[in-house]
Amino acid sequence: MSRSHLQEIVSQFSQQAIPFAQVPGHLDAMELLVELSKPTKDDLVLDVACGPGLVACEFARHAGQVTGIDITPAMIEQAARRQQELGLTNLTWTEGDVVPLPYPDDSFSLVITRYSFHHFLEPQRALAEMIRVCRPGGRVLVADVAIEPAKVEAYDRLEIMRDPSHTHALTTEEFSALMLASGLVDCRQGSYRVEIELEAQLKASFPKPGDKERLREMITADVGADSFGIAPRRAGDTIVYSVPIGVFVGRKLAV
């Protein structure tokens, strides 16, 4: 990633470190990630771009040891605090970048990431690094927004306005092609939707001045039209929208 883009990520997520974990929906579908990746007590897990540790702490309940890495110090602080609150002892945290990951080849048996690929300028390089540090025979899992092709351009414009560190939400077809081109085998995929209340998301977002109101107006006006692929709807006095998530898992070919 360029230095300016990394600085944008750190700036955004330093502000989001606390409210991100408080958005209803960010703990959804953990059981699907566990089901598709099948962690065991023999696994050494790496959670790439771990944020406030929501996924890492869940996987620590099933795996032998979990390491979380994130470029934003404030996120690592929140992750360590969450670990302490949950009384988990089999977690370690690293402040660092994704490309390259600061680990030797074949260090982990399960490498995962959630809600990160839409921030990467070169997602194929991030996936290659995840595969590099995964042991032969190990598994790699990526879960992220997956918008239908006809609506992804509009969605990207909306998300860049909400979070300037957003780059591009891959479509399911782009994710599938990325996984197949990576050399991973036994590739599988799943999906779910995250229900997000608009005002809760705006409270946890830090766009440019004036853009919160524009976002509120754009999403509210999209009720019944769904031009962004997130199906906004009215729920009483609030607006709720539904973000489609794709989950992609593959196995690193054993030597």
On whether residue 203 sits in a domain, the answer given is: no
**Band of pLDDT at residue 212, cut at 50, 70 and 90:** very high
Mean pLDDT throughout 44-65?
97
Position 27 pLDDT exceeds 90 = no
CA dist 82 → 52, 55, 58 (Å): 8, 11, 11
User: What pLDDT sits at residue 1?
Assistant: 62
On whether residue 107 sits in a domain, the answer given is: yes
At 171-210, the pLDDT tens digits run 999 999 999 899 999 999 999 999 999 999 999 999 999 9
On whether residue 74 sits in a domain, the answer given is: yes
On whether residue 224 sits in a domain, the answer given is: no
Mean pLDDT throughout 50-54?
96
**Band of pLDDT at residue 43, cut at 50, 70 and 90:** very high
Report the C-alpha gap between 96 and 132 in whole angstroms: 16
Position 215 pLDDT exceeds 80 = yes
**Band of pLDDT at residue 3, cut at 50, 70 and 90:** confident
**Nearest residue to 61 via CA among 22, 82, 36, 34:** 34
Report the percent of the chain where pLDDT is more than 70. Answer: 99
Mean pLDDT throughout 40-61?
97
Report the C-alpha gap between 157 and 186 in whole angstroms: 34
On whether residue 198 sits in a domain, the answer given is: no
User: What pLDDT sits at residue 22?
Assistant: 74
CB atoms within 10 A of CB 96: 14
On whether residue 51 sits in a domain, the answer given is: yes
At 233-253, the pLDDT tens digits run 999 999 999 999 999 999 999
CB 124 within 8 A of CB 153: no
CATH number at residue 56: 3.40.50.150
User: What pLDDT sits at residue 105?
Assistant: 98
User: What pLDDT sits at residue 20?
Assistant: 81
At 116-136, the pLDDT tens digits run 999 999 999 999 999 999 999
Domain that holds residue 125: 3-193+244-251
Position 65 pLDDT exceeds 80 = yes
Report the C-alpha gap between 130 and 67 in whole angstroms: 13
At 73-87, the pLDDT tens digits run 999 999 999 999 999
Domain count across the chain: 1
On whether residue 200 sits in a domain, the answer given is: no
**Band of pLDDT at residue 21, cut at 50, 70 and 90:** confident
User: What pLDDT sits at residue 175?
Assistant: 96
On whether residue 211 sits in a domain, the answer given is: no
